[in-house]
Every structure is written in structure tokens, then in C-alpha cells.
Amino acid sequence: MIGKGHAIASTGASIEYGWNQEKNAEVVLKEYLAGENPKEITEEFKIIQSQNERCINNTLSFVVSPTIEDGKELTKRELQEIAKRFIKEMNLQNNQTIGFVHRDKAHTHVHIYANRISLKGEVYKDSFIGKRSQIAADNVAKELGLKRVWEVQQERLQELKVQRLAIKYINDRVLESRPKSLDEYIGKMKDCQVKVIPSINKSNQLQGFRFEYKGANLKGSEVHRSMTGGRLIGEISQNTSYSRLKEIPQSLKLLDKTVQISSNMATKIAKDLVKQVIKRALDTGIGI
């Protein structure tokens, strides 16, 4: 089961979407609310939200998604229990909440909207709410014996074992040729039918790489732990002038663009370079 969450300002439109009858919506959660339609529910939210008008994103939006297999078997009562437990895990028992199950797609899921302003007028802290939503959904899945995210991930990786082994083998052969840049590495992988896709965030920071091969699309860490972005850059950097720790670049050229290296990735690269230097020293018998 997967959980997603973020703070929003569009309370009315979101509740209208949740109640959409074209999606076969059913109400499975309703706490501290009496309204019988989206407009009435929105007005009730606004009454409480008026206690703190400085809070702009004053509604919390969550999506809780069981696996396709679990979703097919879950009854309305069981989905109601999931929604209630999720709200408890998120510590939102003192806030207005409404939840709808959508069954218009193969993937049954629950939309939950919670007033970010509590009945006491307190603002709910939304820091790391996405991650906290994931943890809450996982805890609920564990309690109710539903399939958890890591189990689904492991099954998927096992199904793609052949592709993962092939990508790792090709990666190792390409690295043995000592490419001197990421572009050269990406080009050589492409020659072997592996497409390397850089993951770049909105801040133009390189986060890592994905690998496409024979229908599989995998993060580097899903292929093998040695294929994370930091480790690949560290390995390739050893073939260039960036062999000393203090010379690790803060940016680099990638597919004719300049991208930044996050401080987190730079730290990982530095650690890997130190390990590689120590290993080479031991392999060659160099003493200190």
C-alpha cells in the first residue's frame, strides 16, 4: 500500500473531485462534518480555517492506494478502516476529515482531505508530509496484513532479475573501458542497447540515473548498489583530473548541459573516492 500527501489551497475543487460520481465515489470517512455535498463540506472547512487566515495551504490532501490485488478484494467497510487508521497514524484525529473511495480504475484508491486547522485552531505542521504519508500507509498495511511497498518492490525486482543482471554486466564492461566523462559512459551504454536517463530535479541538480533495457526501467540502485549516481560519478571521475578529494566538481557537463551536483551526492562521491584510493593503495602494497 502506498500513501501520498501534500498541503493544498484548493479545498472546494479538491473535495468536488473526491465526490465525483463519474468515478463511482463513495464516502468512507467523515469526521466532525455534517454537510451532504461538496459545497457544504467546503463551507464547514472554511469556518474552522477562519481561525487562522494566515495559513494559505490550509487543507491536506492524501491518496492511499492498496495494491491492485488487495484493492479488488477490499469492501467499503475495510476501506473505511484503512482511512481511519491512516488518519490516526498522521495524528489528525482532532481535525475535520472526509474520505472517498474511487473504483473507476483497476487501481482502487482512497482520497482523504483533512482540514489543516484543527478544531482548536492549531495549524498542522506539513514538513516532510509526503514521507510521513508513506510511513503511515505502510504501518496501516502492516497492521491489516495488506501487501506493503517493499514487498511489491522486491517482487518487481525479482521479476526483472534477468534485465538487472544484463544491465550490471554491460555497466561493468563499459567501466572497464575507463570512460572519461558521463557523456562517454552514456554513449557506450547506448551502443550496448542500454539507455541511461539522468534524473535531474527542478533545481537543476543531478539526483542519479535510470536505466532502460528490454522493457525494464530501473533506478541505478535497483540494478545494483554500485550503480547509484554518486558511485558512478566517483568511478568515472577517477579516469579524469578529479582524482583528488578537493577537486570534486560542484557541476558537470551532461548531454550538452551544465548540471549541479547536490551537496549530498558530492559527499557520497567523496566517500567513494576515499575508499577507492585506500583499496588501490592496499592492492599495490603502498604503505603510509
* CB-based burial, 192-207: b 16+ in 10 Å, e otherwise: eebebebebeeeebbb
Q: Within 10 A of 153 (CB to CB), how many other CB atoms are there?
A: 11
Report the distance separating Cα 231 and Cα 136, nearest Å.
31
**This prediction's pTM:** 0.70
Q: What is the mean pLDDT of residues 138-167?
A: 91
User: What's the confidence (pLDDT) of residue 243?
Assistant: 47
**Phi, psi (5° rounding) for residue 55?**
-80, 115
Position 16 pLDDT exceeds 60: yes
User: What's the confidence (pLDDT) of residue 217?
Assistant: 95
Q: Within 10 A of 269 (CB to CB), how many other CB atoms are there?
A: 23
Quick one: what percent of the chain has pLDDT higher than 70?
Answer: 90
Position 169 pLDDT exceeds 50: yes
Query: Quick one: pLDDT band at residue 206, thresholds 50, 70, 90?
Result: confident
User: What's the confidence (pLDDT) of residue 284?
Assistant: 64
DSSP code string of 179-248 = -SSHHHHHHHHHHTT-EEEEEE-TTSEEEEEEEEETTEEEEHHHH-GGGSHHHHHHHHHTTSSTTSGGG-
DSSP class of 92: -
Query: Quick one: pLDDT band at residue 283, thresholds 50, 70, 90?
Result: low
DSSP class of 117: B
Angle between helices 129-144 and 149-159 (to 10 degrees): 90
Residue with cell 463519474: 22
pLDDT in tens, 42-74: 999 999 999 998 999 999 999 999 998 888 999
Residues ≥6 apart with Cβ < 8 Å to 280: 286
* CB-based burial, 239-249: b 16+ in 10 Å, e otherwise: beebeeeeebe
Contact between 227 and 189 under an 8 Å Cβ cutoff? The reply is no
pLDDT in tens, 112-132: 999 999 999 999 999 999 999
User: What's the confidence (pLDDT) of residue 285?
Assistant: 64
Between 30 and 269, the higher pLDDT residue? 30
Q: Within 10 A of 135 (CB to CB), how many other CB atoms are there?
A: 13
* CB-based burial, 160-181: b 16+ in 10 Å, e otherwise: beebbebbeebbeebbeeebee
Position 107 pLDDT exceeds 70: yes
Report the distance separating Cα 208 and Cα 220, nearest Å.
7
pLDDT in tens, 213-225: 999 999 999 999 9
Mean pLDDT estimate for the chain: 88
Report the distance separating Cα 103 and Cα 242, nearest Å.
54
pLDDT in tens, 235-270: 887 776 544 444 566 667 787 788 887 777 777 777
